[in-house]
Structures are given as structure tokens and as C-alpha cells.
Amino acid sequence: MAGEWTSGPAADASALAERTFAEHGSRLRARLITITRNEAVAEDLAQEAFLRLLREAREGRAPDDPVAWLHRVAANLAASRGRRLTVADRRAGELPLPGGVDSPEESAVAREEAAALHSALSALPGDDRRALLLAAHGYRGGEIAEQLGRTDGATRTLLCRARAKIRERLLVSGAF
């Protein structure tokens, strides 16, 4: 046992964690299996809960009722894991597929949209086109204003109107 070679708060913390694990570890794992429906995940969550108990005890914040504390921490860990998985599932469709190749239809649509955008941009006056392209490349309003020799307010107005013109031309052309 870890408590045999040390003394003081660290030894007391280790003894508390070991004793609690020996007496209640299997019951905690069983509860987590019920919650997660996965033995490996339940084991990981139980280990994390016991590690947190050990950390709290070593820092002098041992709970009054370690068993109840462990069950609450384990339930919170399971709930957090569930939330993370829900978000991951919801956002999975947004991730690019590795080595994914567009279908011929998707490639054709993308080329048509690019051509329509190029045509709409070409029809804009020079400052409008330049401002939109700088904004698309990540330049901030002040940097665009400096490039165009305008004030920040005039540049914001120019960008807003240029975006409206592009939007209108793309909608009229039926490309988007």
C-alpha cells in the first residue's frame, strides 16, 4: 500500500482513496455501466472519479461522505461525456471526409457558382471589388480603409453596399 512508505496528509489521502475503492469501487462501476451502457467507459469514468477523490484529499479537501461524493462526481462525469458526444454527433457532418472526392455533380455546381461569383465581382466598380476581396482574405475594416484611402465609416458603408450588390446579382442570375 502507498501509505506504508509515507506519512502525513498524502498517506491519509491515499489510504482514504484505497479504502473507498476497495469497499465501493465495484458498486460505482456497476452504476456507471447502467448510466453509460459501456463497461470500458464506465471503468474510465470510475478511475477519473477516484483520481479526483485522491486529489481533493491530498489538497486537504476530503469530502465528509466520500461515497456520496464519488457517486455525484461520477454522475457528473458521465453527463459531461454525454454532452460532448451529443455535440460531436451534431457537428460530425460538418467535418470534411479524409480524402473525400466531390461527385461530378458537386464539382459542376461548384464551377457554376464560382463562375457566377466571378462574373458578379467583375461587374462591380473597382473599389467595391477590391474592398470585398480584401475582406474575404481576412483584412479588417481599418486595414481596408487604409488601402482604399477612406475613413473607417465610409469603408463600412462601402462594404455593406458592395455585399448587397453582389447578393442581388447572384440572386438575379439564379446561381445561389
Q: Are residues 8 and 42 in the same domain?
A: yes
* Distance, CA of 103 to CA of 108 (rounded, Å): 9
> In this prediction, what percent of the chain has a pLDDT beyond 90?
53
Query: Residue 174's pLDDT is what?
Result: 75
Is the predicted pLDDT of residue 51 greater than 80, yes or no? yes
Domain annotation covers residue 55: yes
Q: Are residues 73 and 111 in the same domain?
A: no
| Structural domains counted in the chain | 2
Boundary (domain end) residue, out of 44, 60, 94: 94
Q: Are residues 115 and 166 in the same domain?
A: yes
Query: Residue 86's pLDDT is what?
Result: 92
Query: Residue 104's pLDDT is what?
Result: 87
- 58-62: long-range contacts at Cβ-Cβ below 8 A with a sequence spacing of 24 or more? 58/9, 58/10, 58/13, 60/9, 62/12, 62/13, 62/16
Determine whether 95 is exposed, middle or buried from the number of CB atoms within 10 Å of its CB (0-12, 13-18, 19+).
Answer: exposed
- Residue range 149-155: average pLDDT? 92
Helix 104-122 and helix 126-136: axis angle, to 10°?
A: 140
Q: Which domain holds residue 64?
A: 2-94
Q: Are residues 28 and 75 in the same domain?
A: yes
Sign of CA dihedral 120, 126, 132, 136: positive
Is the predicted pLDDT of residue 2 greater than 60, yes or no? no
Q: What is the pLDDT of residues 60-114, one digit of tens each?
A: 898 999 999 999 999 999 999 999 999 988 888 887 767 667 788 888 888 988 9
Query: Residue 93's pLDDT is what?
Result: 81
By residue count, the chain amounts to 176
Q: Are residues 59 and 129 in the same domain?
A: no
Average pLDDT over the chain reads 87
How big is the chain by its Cα radius of gyration, in Å? 30
Q: Are residues 7 and 87 in the same domain?
A: yes
Cβ neighbours of 134 (radius 10 Å): 19
* Distance, CA of 151 to CA of 141 (rounded, Å): 9
Q: Are residues 114 and 89 in the same domain?
A: no
Cell 475613413 belongs to residue: 151
Query: Residue 175's pLDDT is what?
Result: 65
Query: Residue 40's pLDDT is what?
Result: 95
Query: Residue 107's pLDDT is what?
Result: 85
Q: Are residues 10 and 88 in the same domain?
A: yes
What amino acid is encoded at 87 in this protein?
Answer: V
Question: What CATH number does the domain containing 122 carry?
Answer: 1.10.10.10
Boundary (domain end) residue, out of 94, 123, 140: 94
pLDDT confidence bin for 176, thresholds 50/70/90: low
Domain annotation covers residue 100: no
Question: What CATH number does the domain containing 41 carry?
Answer: 1.10.1740
Domain annotation covers residue 99: no
Q: Are residues 7 and 58 in the same domain?
A: yes
Q: Are residues 131 and 89 in the same domain?
A: no
Widest CA span of the chain, in angstroms?
82
Structure letter (DSSP) for residue 95: S
Is the predicted pLDDT of residue 36 greater than 50, yes or no? yes
